[in-house]
Amino acid sequence: MKHTKIKALLESSQVGEKVIVKGWVRAFRSNRFIQINDGSTINNIQAVIEYENFDEAILKKISTAAAVEVHGTLIESQGKGQSVEIAVENVHILGEANPDEVQKTVMQPKKHSLEFLREQAHLRFRTNTFGAVFRIRHGLTFAIHKFFNDKGFYNLHTPILTSSDAEGAGEMFHVTNFDLNNIPKTEDGKVDYSQDFFNKPVNLTVSGQLEAELGALALGQVYTFGPTFRAENSNTSRHLAEFWMIEPEVAFNDLKDNMDLTEEFLKYLSNYVLENYADDLKFLNDRDVKEQSAKPAKDRNPLTLIERLEFVANNEFKRITYTEAIEILRNSKPFKKKKFKYDVEWGVDLHSEHERYLVEKEFNCPVIITDYPADIKAFYMRQNDDGKTVAAMDVLFPGIGEIVGGSQREERLDVLKKKCADFNIDEKEVWWYIDSRKFGTVPHAGFGLGFERMVMFATGMTNIRDVIPFPRTPGNADF
RNA sequence: UCCUCCUUAGCUCAGUUGGUUAGAGCAUCUGACUGUUAAUCAGAGGGUCCUAGGUUCAAGUCCUAGAGGGGGAGCCA
């Protein structure tokens, strides 16, 4: 007889049937009630034993974190907290857990700080919070593939090792086969990359976008979903050295199509979590409510986690141009009272404090800002007719900041070449990219979504290190 | 990288103007109880006060440096 997943047991209520459950003990109360979790759901099944009939030595081993196999009959619960429970006939200890050892871990049955949990990333999956987070992370992964597949997009695997360094997206990790204690040098003392594995400098990718564009210009609609690396020395709750990014790219789309796609996509993901992860979401929602109430009133989010997801799913995003944003900011109270640390002036990039004002004070909803000055954006973004701005867009989320960055791409060969010159990019470095503008070039657009930032939004976690199983940050690559 | 705060028991923390033997709650263990839901009651064990220097009759407490962590900023997704 096969064992049944707890999720299935709780949903089907096959009362009266013989069942086998395998899982880990979360709590053992009154020498009678074993709370078992197997990861299939945040909910535990209660296994009830008549301790009078069991060997003392076995009872002793039913301790927090131990793995057990329980045979019994599913019955209606006599107690309140659950509708069904298992009347146990037999317990097998599959893996013991020494209480003295367990006590030193995050499995100790009490509240823990997220910092302590982070130190034990190998064990934090056992907690309700991280169980919920990583089930939802999976749900989002699946929803992303489903969204694009249903729309006729093709998933494109762009390279992780790349020799292109023209995107200016950030510092890159170098990849080499050299013996680092004995690096071949040329006559003038520089590193002799001709002797390296790829015969040239190679890095971990910072974005698959340029390659995705090439795919889109034949397959029509593509998206990438893969790991991305930044060697920036960023020590914040919103940055990782290794993170996952989704980058759709669509031929014949302009900036407006791009905004529509982004908005539909983010609404879809929010809805998907609401509809498919209600139990996990409820747990994280309660957690978030407690967290919010502990904060001073001015820092509190007026909406609960679930309300925030519903808000995104059901409300239009506010769309404004960069020029309008500057206008609004210069007329704002904090600007007039000189409360902003950084100046607001056309041509200067918006800082966190400005973005936060627009999203959290002025509009109180997700905001899409478009048409930024060309100088502060990447070389591949399409030049607008005014000659000063480009068809770029940033999507700003409350509490997260920039969650999506995208643009219509420069499809005109001559303009692209001029942009390369302006940005000091050697055309030889990106010859293959420029080449694509010679053969049936068409308008196209795309965006990048930082996956972990979406997981943060969907789970209410406020530190990005708590939404990826094993975070990589400056000075930290454990596990 | 910058600013700022923190580091005391397994965890979360308290520790007065520098002063005797460093405390609490939870967790663990032992016993009692037993249809519990963060079980309850009684008791016990548990300390490199982050590290290295320094000031002082005396340092968990003051000073210097370092390490680790949190929050914010910059950079960005």
Would you state the structure tokens that stand for residue A298, as one six-digit string?
């001015």
Instruction: Determine whether the distance from the CB of A48 to the nearest atom of strand B is below 7 Å.
Output: yes
Is the minimum distance from the CB of A209 to strand B below 7 Å?
A: no
Enumerate the nucleotides of strand B whose atoms come under 7 Å of any protein CB.
1-2, 10-13, 26-29, 33-39, 68-77
The predicted pLDDT at position A117 comes to 94
Reported as a pLDDT band with limits 50, 70 and 90, residue A55 is confident
Mean pLDDT of the A279-293 span: 90
| Strand B lies under 7 A from the Cβ of residue A453 | yes
Q: Is nucleic acid strand B under 7 Å from A118's C-beta?
A: yes
Cα(A317)–Cα(A365) distance, rounded to whole angstroms? 7
| Average pLDDT rounded to a whole number, residues A204-219 | 95
Phi, psi of A343 (to 5 degrees): -70, 155
- Nucleic strand B within 7 A of Cβ A27: yes
> Which pTM value belongs to this model?
0.94
User: What pLDDT sits at residue A166?
Assistant: 60
Give residues 375-414 of chain A lying near strand B (Cβ < 7 A): 401-405
Which pLDDT score is estimated for A211?
A: 95
Give this complex's ipTM. 0.90
A170 beta carbon to strand B: under 7 Å: yes
Distance, CA of A178 to chain centre? 34
A466, pLDDT greater than 90: yes
Give distance CA A169 / C1' B75 (Å): 10
Determine the distance between A106 (CA) and B52 (C1') in angstroms: 31
**Residues 218-277 of A near strand B (Cβ < 7 Å)?**
230, 232-241, 243, 245
- Please compute the mean of the pLDDT values over residues A130-142 and round it to a whole number: 97
Residue A91 CA and nucleotide B64 C1' are separated, in Å, by: 60
Residue closest to B26 C1′ by Cα: A110
Question: CA-to-C1' distance for A475 and B53, Å?
Answer: 26
User: pLDDT band at residue A399, thresholds of 50, 70 and 90?
Assistant: confident
pLDDT digits (tens, 9 = 90+) for A229-263: 999 989 999 999 999 999 999 999 999 999 999 99
Q: CA of A319 and C1' of B71: distance in angstroms?
A: 31
Scanning every strand, the nucleotide with its C1' closest to A112's CA turns out to be B11
Instruction: List pLDDT tens digits, range A417-450.
Output: 999 999 888 898 899 999 999 999 999 999 999 9
